[in-house]
Amino acid sequence: MRQLISKDMGEEEFVFYVAKCLESEFKLKSQVKIQDYKVIFRLGNYEIIFKLLDVKESKEKGPYVLDKLILDKLQEKGFNFDKNRSQYIKYCYDI
């Protein structure tokens, strides 16, 4: 199912979809702003920035690669979570 979603959605739409998935997983509000080919992504009090091109490349690599990219960047900012917390997160980390 996720593979079809990632292939059918455009880059911007897919970022918003992943944001809602992470919001639901962590019960934290997410915000996405896209400007100048950059994505400003906020989950709770954590904010990261990445290129819209990263979204395109992530979608080409796999259906959960963008989620992992976002989670890794959030971890670099101090956001902590257990990678075994749910099946969704395990999919992101290929566990």
pLDDT at 38 over 90: yes
Question: How many domains does the chain divide into?
Answer: 1
DSSP assigned state of 41: E
Q: What is the pLDDT of residue 72?
A: 98
> One-letter amino acid identity for 11?
E
Structural domain including 57 reads 2-92
Of the ranges 2-6, 28-32, 59-63, 83-87, which one carries the lowest mean pLDDT score? 2-6
pLDDT at 19 over 90: yes
Number of neighbours of residue 26 by Cβ within 10 angstroms: 19
